[in-house]
Amino acid sequence: MRFHLPILFGIASLAIAAPIKNSTDHRSLPDGLPTPSPSELEVIEENAHGTLPNGPPPPGISENGITNLKLVAFNELFEVAFFHELITNVTNQVLGYRFSSEDDYDFILNGLKVILAQEELHALDANNALSHFGIAPIEPCQYNFPVDNFNDAILLASTFTDVVLGTLQDVVERFAIGGDFALTREVSSIIGQEGEQQGWFRIMQGKVPSELPFLTTSDLNFAFTAIQSFTVPGTCPNINSIPLETFEPLNIITAPTAKTDHIKVSFYDRKDVEESTLWIVYINQQNLPIVEPLTVLSNEEHEIVAEALFPYEAHEMNGLTIAAVTTTEGPFPDASSVAKATVAGPGLIIIN
Ligand SMILES: *[C@@H]1O[C@H](CO)[C@@H](O)[C@H](O)[C@H]1NC(C)=O
Ligand SMILES: *[C@@H]1O[C@H](CO)[C@@H](O)[C@H](O)[C@H]1NC(C)=O
């Protein structure tokens, strides 16, 4: 190891809850994004250590394929804003983002700058493809990130990268179902790239680099909701053109550790659900979703606090678990059937 960061991760899991404060304006996206000039693009490619794919996209695309590209662009623009702000914080040695040696700064900043440029190319690639198909590209929002120090920022990066790694599996499947086979190879190359980032984020947290034998899967709608916890409401110019569902957020109040235990969650019940017919569903690895009954502890002004078993030991529930509250018991054959029954989610849990 070349660097000795003050890595303080006792935290085994993270529940995302975004406070409302503005920090990033999309005008502050770097390198001319979302529409860089040819010379800005040249600089991005140099920083990314590589280029945009130069073969033409296929002549046609399915409806679901378009939704895939929109979600990918929406996500990558958010990642660009995040890594740009993180680099700015480290560069400016903002309190909470200071390291003890110059070597650490060089090592971290070099890595982050390459990641930023690579994410910029991912965003441009998805938006270019949309333009190619005559669809308006996705525009960036204003964002805010619920972190104020380097360790929390890396934990957050590793959490959203986990969600992306699961969601791109869904993207590939939807392309396949829609007959968009010509787009699957490129997405697969991005999955590998995001996995490389994740290995680095995990090492920085003192974890083993590779998370699971089969990474946890997700669904486009869960990612769409999760990303919105980092956008300032009302600042995403064409989010309404993305035909995906936004669920009520699911807050993990007491996060589980690496043992079978009860977890406490809260969520806003907009739909007056029947309290006796609520379940929590856990999506972990490539396994069938796990369903547990949810016991409501309190329900005041539609804010439900509830408790459920987290059966860690029975299922070796390491890595990312996506939790969702549903109004049906299943059984659910896959993540997309869970999303269809979800009233609140995704709650994000990472163990080990
Ligand atoms: C946050 O951004 C919104 C939308 O641009 C704006 O209306 C609001 O005044 C901003 N709030 C703060 C605290 O800057
Ligand atoms: C950058 O630092 C500011 C000030 O602490 C903080 O509000 C913001 O969330 C940080 N952003 C990232 C990505 O770490």
pLDDT digit string (tens) for 240-262?
999 999 999 999 999 899 999 99
Residue 23, ligand 1, Cβ within 6 A: no
> Whole-model pTM?
0.90
Average pLDDT over residues 42-68: 96
pLDDT at 25 over 70: no
pLDDT mean over 42-48: 98
Return the closest-CA partner of residue 349 out of 261, 269, 279, 273: 261
How much distance in Å is there from the Cα of 97 to the middle of ligand 2?
Answer: 9
Q: Whose CA is nearest to atom 8 of ligand 2?
A: 148
Verify whether ligand 1 is closer than 6 Å to residue 22 (CB atom). Answer: yes
Q: What is the pLDDT, as a whole number, of residue 102?
A: 86
CA distance 212 to 104: 28
Query: Is 230's C-beta closer than 6 angstroms to any atom of ligand 2?
Result: no
Summary mean pLDDT of the chain: 92
% of residues, the chain, pLDDT over 70: 92
Task: Judge whether 68 and 164 are in contact, CB under 8 Å.
Answer: no
Q: Which residues contact 347 (CB under 8 A, 6 or more apart)?
A: 15, 250, 251, 252, 265, 322, 323, 324
- Is 303's C-beta closer than 6 angstroms to any atom of ligand 2? no
* pLDDT for residue 275: 78
**Homologous superfamily in CATH for domain 250-351:** Immunoglobulins (2.60.40.10)
Q: Binning pLDDT at 50, 70 and 90, where does residue 271 land?
A: confident
Residue-wise pLDDT for 307-333, tens only, equals: 999 999 999 999 999 999 999 999 999
pLDDT tens column, 1-16: 344 444 433 333 444 4
Task: Report the pLDDT value the prediction gives residue 13, as an integer from 0 to 100.
Answer: 41
pLDDT of residue 170: 98
**Which residues contact residue 136 at a Cβ distance below 8 angstroms, ignoring those fewer than 6 apart?**
130, 238, 241
Asked whether 112 lines ligand 2 (CB < 6 A), one says no
Non-local (6+) Cβ contacts of 38 within 8 A are: none
| Chain length of the chain | 352
Does the CB atom of residue 87 touch ligand 2 within 6 A? no
Distance 237 CA to ligand 2 centre (A): 23
Q: Where are the domains of the chain?
A: 19-241, 250-351
CB-count exposure of residue 298 (10 Å: 0-12, 13-18, 19+): exposed
Residue 135 CA, ligand 2 centroid: distance in Å? 33
**205, 207, 197: which is closest to 150 by C-alpha?**
205
The model's confidence at residue 27, banded by pLDDT at 50, 70 and 90, is low
H/E run at residue 279: strand 279-284
Q: What is the pLDDT of residues 197-244, one digit of tens each?
A: 999 999 999 999 999 999 999 999 999 999 999 999 999 999 999 999
> Does residue 57 have a pLDDT over 60?
yes
Pocket test for ligand 2, best of 89, 154, 201 (most atoms within 8 A of CB): 89
CA pair distance 52, 299, nearest whole angstrom: 51
301 pLDDT more than 60: yes
Q: Give, using CA atoms, the residue closest to atom 13 of ligand 2.
A: 86
